[in-house]
Structures are given as C-alpha cells and as structure tokens.
C-alpha cells in the first residue's frame, strides 16, 4: 500500500518528535518525511519537502506555533494539525490556532512532554489523514462583537440545532457572528471537541456573537436568543417542558456529544418549529437526526460540501435525503435567519387562524 500521506512533525521536544513520528509511521498510509524543533525551522522544512500535513506544537523556542502557523498559511498553505497541552492556556491558544487556519488539533494527554502519548495514536492517525484531504479556504473573519441592545423576547420562537466537527470552530464562529440579536430562536450547538475545551470555546464565541453563548448546565430551561453549547463528554437532549438534559450514555458514531441525539430529541419536542443545520466535519453524525427533523415537519439544511474543510457530514446528510437545502458558508447565516423567521411566522399565522 502506498504511503500517500506525507507528514512533517514539529515539536521542540526530541522525545515527542520521536513518539509522534513512530505512531504515524506505524500506519501503512502515512510517512513522516521530516521533523523540525521550532517554528522557524518548520517553515524551511515545509517549503522544501512540501508535505501533505504538518503536526505543529504550540510552545517552542525561536518561533512559537501560532506565529509559525500564521506564516505558513501566508507563505506555503498546508493543512496543519495542532498538538496542544490540555490546559486553560493550551485550550485558548488552540482555539486561536483554529481561527488562524489549523484544520484540527490533538490534546496531549499529560502536558507538553507526554509519557502516555500512545493513548492518542488512533485519533492522531485519523485526524492527520483527514487533514491531508481537507480544503484550505480563505478564512472568513468575523467582526468584533458589538454588544446588542436588549431585544424583546418573542412570544413564538424556534429551536435551531447546529452540528459541526472538523473545521467547525472557525465555521461556527463565523456563523454566530452574523446572526442578529433579535433572532426568534434558541440555538443548540453540538461541536465535537475533547473534554475540557468547550468552556473555553463558549468564551471564545462570546467575543463575536451578539447572542450570548454558554456551556449547558443539566436541567436548565431553554430560552430564546441564547446559544447553548453541548459540553464535551455529554450528549445534549431536549425534554418536554423545554428542559435540557446532559446524558452520558455511550458515544454514538464514536463521539459524545453526538448531533444525532440532539437533533432527534429537538425534532420530537419542537416538531415544525425545529431547524437543523449540519456543517463541516468528519463522519456521518447529524445525518439521521436531520432526517428526523425533516420527517417531523421541521426545516433542514447543510453547509455546501464544497465550502467545508471536511465535507463528510454534510455529504452524508445529502446522500440520505435529509437536507432540504445546501448553502455555501458565506450565505449560511443569512439563510438560517430567513428560515427561522419564516418558521416562526408560519406558527404565528396558524395560531391566528385557529384563534
């Protein structure tokens, strides 16, 4: 079998370079063709060897990972998987890296020099291969958040479920930055992330979103004009009475939270007032749940696959016949807003006629 996926490993620890290279080379389709010990060296190695993917550490001497990433995207665009310590600082830097163009990231199990790095082998291999197939796009930079005026809470409102995986953080950040503060809907957000990262992701999104973003607390009541982020390690379910429940049943499609669980429960409670949207990501999560939304009278759409970093999730939904529309990322927030207002308008009209 051809080793089609060529990788450069960048880490200031010789031990970690050896461990990561060994894990990757154990896969029959991956070949580590070079290494570098800092960002400046990495730029030269990548320009010379032209790999399929770069794994990039964050904290390095001479030139750190963020500066190297920014330079790399400008001078020699290449898919990058960040390798980051699972700490508060590591999470914040990793989210910044995803905004700068990194495709995905791996959390080191035990900090910067990890003795149990073998625990991430399967995830590392899968993410490197996915990154090699990723489409690098011009980043859509959201504006800085403008604090909105207080909007009147609508009498009728919809529920929106947004689902994303690989490539999702930058995509979600853009979409939320464009939604209006008076949106007559509550937004449930399912983004596949390692445990420990979603709290920082919510804080990051609050920098650009006019709708307040919070990590879900078990049992809280859904309110309109609020974004609820599913915490890593829990499925997010909607219950009767509009309450949110965090569920630790086994992962679905290998992930927890799984968007299928959220979409299915939201569709059964909200019916025609439910809007589902599946965006960039690996795998097929969201397809079956989106079909349930459609079958129960809700509205469904996907991010157009050609505008995704990884198109597998939207493609799965389209193949299943679950999506009514496929919308390019640039137009997705506007179209979501139009659909939500139309759904709420239809509910109001039915209420007036029945009254």
Catalytic annotation, residues:
165, 192, 285
- Contact (CB, 8 A) for 281 and 167: yes
Tokens standing for 261?
């669980």
Distance from the first to the final alpha carbon of the chain: 68
**Residue 89: how many CB atoms within 10 A of its CB?**
12
Residue listed under structure tokens 């070079």: 34
CA separation for the pair 254, 110 (Å, rounded): 22
- DSSP secondary structure letter of residue 219: T
- Contact (CB, 8 A) for 283 and 211: no
What are the b/e assignments for 245-277, b being 16+ CB within 10 Å?
ebeeeeebbebbbbbbbbbbbbbbbbebbbbbb
Q: Concatenate the DSSP letters of all residues of 44-84 into one string.
A: HHHHHH--SEEEEESS-SSS-HHHHHHHHHHHS---EEEEE
Residue listed under structure tokens 């968007």: 259
Angle at 333 between CA 191 and CA 270, to 5 degrees: 65
Residue 179: left (phi > 0), alpha (psi -120 to 50), or beta? beta
């Amino acid at each position: 079998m051809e080793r089609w996926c060529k990788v450069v490993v960048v880490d200031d620890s010789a031990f970690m370079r050896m461990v990561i290279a060994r894990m990757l080379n154990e896969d029959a389709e991956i070949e580590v063709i070079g290494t570098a010990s800092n960002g400046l060296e990495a730029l030269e190695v990548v320009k010379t060897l032209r790999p399929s993917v770069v794994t990039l550490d964050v904290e390095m001497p001479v030139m750190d990972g963020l500066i190297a990433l920014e330079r790399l995207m400008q001078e020699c665009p290449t898919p990058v998987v960040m390798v980051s310590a699972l700490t508060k600082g590591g999470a914040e830097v990793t989210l910044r890296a995803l905004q700068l163009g990194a495709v995905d990231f791996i959390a080191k199990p035990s900090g910067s020099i990890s003795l149990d790095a073998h625990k991430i082998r399967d995830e590392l291999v899968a993410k490197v291969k996915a990154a090699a197939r990723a489409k690098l796009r011009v980043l859509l930079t959201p504006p800085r958040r403008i604090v909105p005026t207080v909007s009147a809470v609508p009498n009728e409102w919809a529920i929106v479920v947004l689902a994303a995986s690989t490539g999702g953080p930058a995509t979600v950040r853009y979409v939320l930055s464009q939604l209006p503060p008076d949106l007559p809907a509550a937004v449930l957000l399912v983004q596949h992330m390692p445990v420990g990262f979603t709290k920082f992701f919510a804080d990051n999104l609050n920098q650009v979103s006019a709708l307040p973003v919070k990590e879900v607390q078990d049992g809280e009541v859904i309110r309109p004009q609020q974004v609820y982020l599913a915490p890593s390690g829990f499925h997010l379910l909607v219950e009767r009475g509009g309450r949110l429940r965090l569920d630790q049943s086994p992962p679905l499609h290998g992930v927890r939270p799984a968007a299928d669980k959220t979409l299915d429960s939201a569709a059964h409670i909200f019916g025609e007032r439910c809007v589902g949207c599946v965006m960039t990501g690996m795998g097929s999560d969201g397809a079956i749940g989106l079909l349930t939304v459609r079958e129960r009278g809700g509205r469904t759409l996907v991010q157009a696959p050609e505008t995704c970093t990884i198109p597998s999730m939207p493609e799965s939904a389209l193949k299943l016949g679950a999506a009514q529309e496929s919308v390019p990322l640039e137009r997705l927030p506007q179209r979501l807003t139009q659909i939500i207002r139309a759904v709420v308008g239809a509910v109001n009209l039915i209420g007036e006629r029945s009254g």
